[in-house]
């Protein structure tokens, strides 16, 4: 019998630096795959999204200390022979028990900061959403993603994720069902409906309006020129529009009229 080549572990507090740094490198390396924008490496805006998505994941990892009032958990896959090597990660957002109308506003969070994670669902089936997941290229097709998802669904049976159309068969084979289209991606769930709990996510708008992003954009503008940057933005927008149409048509084809139903969105924090 073959020995396992990796182990999977769940963390609910901020990970040690050696794990965090390797996750950040994977985000940079695989930003095309894991970002909703699906920015191509050939696009001059690529490095801007490497920073933006990387900073978002960094904030999620920092939020694991409870400082943002977000429920965040992390699953990592480590090499069995060298446990200091991260070969995959899954960032998971548990659904909290507060009803959406009772959710604290950003102002209330700022006025009364909490350093405790919000309570996850107890009275109904525990639910969560996958924020980000990636596996090292050399370790794909070895069951790493399957093992991380299993650890997650063992704890949160009602699980949700979003992916691009070509990846739908992969997640269907792992027990996820198509619920509909959400922007450029297909929303999938281990059940045939969304959870009724509250899903809080980071508001990424401040990241992309930050001084750092403006500085990166200015540098890219000097490097490539105004026309090339305008073309890059148009190319990005056309690609997102294409993916959005593709996801909507796929959902409509798969679900009929139900494919166009309104899906619940997360609450920005």
What pLDDT digit, counting tens, does each position of 148-194 carry? Answer: 999 999 999 999 999 999 999 999 999 999 999 999 999 999 999 99
> In the beta sheet, which residues pair with residue 181?
186
pLDDT, tens digit (0-9, with 9 covering 90-100), for 70-119? 999 999 999 999 999 999 999 999 998 754 334 333 333 333 333 445 55
Q: How far apart are CA 141 and CA 40, in angstroms?
A: 23
Give 126-171 as a 3 state SS string. CEEEEEEEEECHHHCCCCHHHHHHHHHHHHCCEEEEEECHHHHHHH
**What percent of the chain has a predicted confidence (pLDDT) above 70?**
84
- What does the domain layout of the chain look like in residue ranges? 6-268
Q: Are 213 and 207 in contact (CB under 8 A)?
A: yes
pLDDT for 106 equals: 37
pLDDT digits (tens, 9 = 90+) for 219-235: 999 999 999 999 999 99
Q: How far apart are CA 144 and CA 141, in angstroms?
A: 7
CATH architecture assignment, domain 6-268: 3-Layer(aba) Sandwich (3.40)
Write down the pLDDT at residue 2: 53
Torsion over CA of 123, 73, 150 and 133, rounded to 10 degrees?
130
The number of C-alpha atoms within 13 Å of 231 and in the hemisphere containing its C-beta is 8
Mean per-residue pLDDT, 198-203: 91
């Amino acid at each position: 019998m073959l020995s396992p080549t990796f182990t999977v572990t769940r963390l609910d507090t901020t990970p040690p630096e050696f794990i965090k740094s390797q996750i950040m490198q994977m985000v940079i390396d695989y930003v095309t795959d894991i970002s909703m924008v699906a920015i191509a490496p050939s696009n001059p805006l690529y490095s801007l999204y490497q920073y933006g998505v990387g900073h978002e994941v960094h904030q999620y990892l920092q939020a694991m200390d409870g400082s943002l009032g977000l429920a965040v958990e992390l699953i990592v896959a480590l090499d069995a022979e060298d446990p200091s090597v991260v070969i995959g990660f899954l960032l998971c957002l548990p659904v909290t028990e507060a009803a959406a109308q009772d959710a604290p506003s950003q102002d209330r969070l700022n006025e009364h900061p909490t350093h405790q994670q919000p309570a996850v669902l107890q009275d109904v089936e525990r639910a969560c959403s996958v924020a980000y997941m990636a596996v090292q290229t050399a370790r794909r097709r070895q069951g790493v993603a399957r093992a991380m998802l299993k650890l997650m669904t063992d704890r949160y049976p009602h699980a949700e994720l979003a992916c691009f159309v070509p990846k739908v068969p992969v997640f269907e084979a792992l027990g996820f069902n198509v619920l509909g289209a959400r922007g450029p991606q297909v929303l999938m769930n281990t059940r045939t409906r969304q959870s009724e709990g509250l899903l809080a996510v980071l508001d990424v708008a401040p990241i992309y309006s930050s001084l750092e992003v403006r500085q990166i954009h200015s540098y890219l503008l000097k490097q490539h020129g105004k026309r090339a940057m305008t073309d890059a933005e148009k190319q990005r927008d056309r690609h997102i529009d294409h993916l959005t149409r593709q996801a909507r048509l796929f959902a409509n084809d798969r679900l009929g009229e139900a494919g166009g139903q309104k899906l619940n969105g997360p609450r920005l924090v």
